[in-house]
Amino acid sequence: MNKINNMIAQELQVKESQVESAVKLIDEGNTIPFIARYRKEATGGLSDETLRELGERLNYLRNLEQRKEEVIKSIEEQGKLTDKILQSVAISKTLAEVEDIYRPYKQKKKTRATVAKAKGLEPLANIIIEQKEKTPIEEIAKQYINIDKLDEKDKQNKDKAVKTAEEAIQGALDIIAENISDNSKYRKEIKRLCYREAMIETKATKENEKSNYEMYYNKQEQIKYIPSHRILAINRGEKEEYLKVKIQKPEEKILTYIEKDIIKGKTQFSQILKDTILDSFKRLIEPSIDREIRSDLTEKAENKAIKVFGQNAKQLLLGAPIKGKTVMGFDPAYRTGCKIAVIDETGKVLDYTTVYPTEPQNDIEGAKKELLKLIEKDKIDMIAIGNGTASRESEMFIANLIKETKRDVHYVIVSEAGASVYSASKLATEEYPNINVSIRGAISIARRLQDPLAELVKIDPKAIGVGQYQHDVNQKKLSESLTGVVEDSVNKVGVDVNTATPSLLSYVSGINNTIAKNIVKYRDENGKLKNRKELLKVPKLGKVAYEQCAGFLRILDGDNPLEITAVHPESYETTEKLLNKIGFDVKDIKDKEKLQELQQKLKIVDIQKTAKELEIGEMTLTDIIEELSKPGRDPREDMPKPILRSDVLKLEDLKEGMILTGTVRNVIDFGAFIDIGIKHDGLVHISEMSEKFIKNPSEIVSVGDIVKVKVISIDKERQKVGLSMKGI
């Protein structure tokens, strides 16, 4: 275990003691959000991202150790275990290395070599590989002809009969070829050479066929430099049968390396061994090495894509909420009409309808009349327009509509990714049983503007739509990663236990779907919860779940003012002592005037000295002070607010050199897509992000960021806009 902890500490560049504490807490069943927030002293303040990475590596390395034990046991049972094998297995760092060592000892299906062994040709293979015999090999091979010793039935059996010396030699060479292929030392060196020098080559399956993969129709790139998004693009092109993919290896170097190790000077065996090495490489080694390298490249590319997707999703989930506003959700469409839903500042549905301002009906006047009436009647402040089909036509309609209203109304373009998935879901049916499926999408769009997190947790994280190749990557890994991202986001913000939906509650540390539904049921039957301790009355929510979830649940009008903060019940006593020490009471955090005085006093608290006096960790004390300074504060308030628009921009309005403000919609390996208010998002290529060299766009921007960009190219035919962030 110490070895595993040490490896993880080195990889994550943290102290081994931090890893030991984190592993102990994970093994005890604590959740990542709980450990990250309330066990900082134990872990030395490891973040939720680091803890998740630590958990993944811990799982992999434990599986690796288990596999090593299984392999050693299997080889030992065969009576073939040596100190050299033991040492090789012990120093292996990956499952692939362990499998390469185990390869010669695996139970094999029928191969040319197993057939040759069954014919008794292994001693002949040993004579050839030792290269000492002076007697011509053809003469030696005659001793292995067995046709006269077999009965009539076996004489016809190719798997048993050796009719000629040539057959005997070929069988022996088949055994040697398989042994070369199974040699873990050779495989390791071949892979090392390939990762250093091999090229990935792509060609078109049909030269003149148009596709999204034309840039790969005749391309070569060193595998050590190829970025992950290109690997996933090539994989997809191959799967869709537009591309043929081949790995060009340094074949001469590989063959020379094996020959030097096997061939001992000039003998009668030199040429046949040289031919056998080539056969082993071409027939056995190359296909499996190709598979391993492609699989390894794909896995690394998938992990990178999943990480990028997670970062983007987190930024989207933590988008700034628009509070206290009545919002009209506008779900654009053509033939079926634009669905409209109005929600008040609490998210309650006030009105809904369908209008037809777009093609083919083009009923602009009728739609205008209907919506102006709703704006006045429901006192609408904002309009959230979904960014899907007919979005820009709808935007132009809304921009003109706003000019005719007396109210101060703005609109915002909102990502509608996953809205249709949600509309038809069981959850949406439970929430709005009497509302048409198509209207539910408009409600979701409006609510996303009011509270992105509360609305987006209702959707499968994969459908959020802020990634790259999310349908091409390992779906189980993606799902696990995104579930972790949603958990971290929900727990960072905190949840009002008296208003939260079961979907939101189910992501709170320690709460599963059953407990989430039980909380809502308890709330419905007994009224609002007055304090966190009341959670223990909820069926299935025991002491363990209570410890994990209590600090993340907020009670805004309850018995204890501390419960509007993230202060954990285990720290209430210490928090009260701290407040008394500086002349305040718990109730003062809800008094605006006293809160200002309290904030000033908290600024000058000597953390080191006070932590010792209160017998509490310095990190925990710092967190408590932060919570008392801004009780009930939503951390999303620091995030960039959506851009409020009142007029529309067309592609024709753009000119090179124009400076615009836009919202980052998606961050990928090669840049970021920016919504600048035209039909299609513009692209800032990674090379146009900074004067300095950057490895990854996420070093500069995140989803939801508001950025200034300069128009550097306009392709009207392809509706593409190139943007730059340099020198602005």
Lowest average pLDDT, out of 188-197, 273-282, 343-352, 414-423, goes to: 414-423
Q: What is the per-residue pLDDT across 336-378, written as a single tens digit (0 to 9) for each?
A: 999 999 999 888 999 999 999 998 999 999 999 999 999 999 9
Measure the CA–CA gap between 681 and 679, rounded to whole angstroms: 7
Work out the number of other CB atoms within 10 angstroms of the CB of residue 370: 17
Alpha-carbon distance of 31 to 43, in angstroms, equals 13
192: number of Cβ within 10 Å: 10
Across the chain, what does the average pLDDT equal? 90
What is the SS3 assignment for 168?
Answer: helix
Closest by CA position to 231, among listed 305, 167, 282, 323:
305
Amino acid at 379: K
What is the enclosing helix (H) or strand (E) of 663? strand 659-668
Summarize the confidence of residues 3-16 as an average pLDDT: 94
Between 425 and 439, where is the model more confident? 439
DSSP state of 669: T
Nearest CA to 355 out of 373, 376, 381, 343 is that of 373
Q: Return d(Cα 589, Cα 624) in angstroms, integer.
A: 12
Range scoring the smallest mean pLDDT among 302-316, 509-523, 644-658: 644-658
Report residue 308's pLDDT band, with 50, 70 and 90 as the boundaries: confident
Q: Are 676 and 722 in contact (CB under 8 A)?
A: no
Domain ranges of the chain: 2-78, 108-182, 327-450, 651-724
Identify the pLDDT of residue 260: 96
DSSP state letter for 645: B
Across 217-233, average pLDDT: 91
CB burial string 378-387: b at 16+ within 10 A, e below: bebbbbbbbb
CATH classification of 651-724, choosing from 2.40.50.140, 3.40.50.300, 3.30.70.1560, 3.30.565.10?
Answer: 2.40.50.140
How is residue 660 annotated by DSSP?
A: E
Write the CA distances from 576 to 376, 587, 632, integer angstroms: 49, 10, 17
Which option is the CATH number for 2-78: 3.40.190.80, 3.20.20.140, 1.10.10.650, 2.60.120.10?
A: 1.10.10.650
Which residues is 674 bridged to in the sheet? 664, 682
pLDDT of residue 172: 95
Asked if residues 309 and 481 have their Cβ atoms less than 8 Å apart, the reply is: yes
Question: Quick check: 203 and 244 in contact, CB under 8 A?
Answer: yes
Q: Which of 24-28, 541-545, 600-604, 654-658 has the lowest mean pLDDT?
A: 654-658
pLDDT at 109 over 80: yes
pLDDT tens digits along 686-695: 999 988 888 8
What share of the chain in percent tops pLDDT 90?
A: 65
Give residue 316's pLDDT. 84
Instruction: Report which of residues 418 and 516 the model is more confident about.
Output: 516
Please state the pTM of the whole predicted model. 0.81
Where would I find the beta strands (DSSP E) of 548-617? 553-554
The strand order across the sheet containing 382-386 reads 349-355, 338-343, 327-331, 382-386, 410-414
The answer, yes or no, to whether residue 236 has pLDDT greater than 70, is yes
The residue with tokens 């990557």 is 473
Query: Higher pLDDT residue, 666 or 531?
Result: 531
Task: Look up the CATH number of domain 327-450.
Answer: 3.30.420.140
Q: Which residue type is seen at 673?
A: F
pLDDT tens, 390-411? 887 888 899 899 999 989 999 9
